[in-house]
Amino acid sequence: MNYVEKNCTIEHNGRKFTAGGAVVTPEHLVGYLGKPRADGSRFLENWHGKWLGTCWITSTWRTSRSFTSGTMHQVHARVNGVTYTGRSAGEGMLFRGRRVKREQAGLTTTTLTSVIVQPGDQACLI
């Protein structure tokens, strides 16, 4: 199932700012890292804060020249039973990942079966 988030615009001091929003395809994933949970995992969220899946930070390194964060994280995410790997600057920041090759996907995770879209959510399923 493909998912493309819509209506990711805010207005501040009379100016409008638009983000790209979350995207889920069989090969690529774009979402936002949520707060850490007790088991060390995190929720992966769309731009509006709705749950897309679960993710884990697998490594972290310093980024001295970045204007957004002093660290970068390698992240594994699981959405719709598919595992993705990519990078994020941390909580609330964008995660961009690619599907993990099947032979590398042997992570110990809970299998997720669907993206939850509530009535009234600004999303487009394609």
Q: Give pLDDT tens digits for 58-88.
A: 999 998 877 778 899 999 999 999 999 999 9
pLDDT score recorded for residue 104: 56
Q: In the structure encoding, which two tokens stand for residue 105, read together?
A: 């996907």
Q: What percent of the chain has pLDDT over 90?
A: 56
How would residue 96 be classed by pLDDT, with cut points 50, 70 and 90?
very high
Could you give the CA distance from residue 4 to residue 73 in angstroms, rounded to a whole number? 24
Average pLDDT, the chain: 82
CA quadruple 124, 105, 34, 44: dihedral, nearest 10:
10
Examine the pLDDT at 97 and tell me if it is beyond 60: yes
Going by C-alpha positions, the residue among 51, 75, 54, 55 that lies closest to residue 123 is: 51
pLDDT score recorded for residue 70: 87
pLDDT score recorded for residue 108: 44
Question: Rounded mean pLDDT of 5-16?
Answer: 88
Computed over its alpha carbons, how large is the radius of gyration of the chain?
15
Could you give the CA distance from residue 12 to residue 121 in angstroms, rounded to a whole number? 22
pLDDT score recorded for residue 18: 86
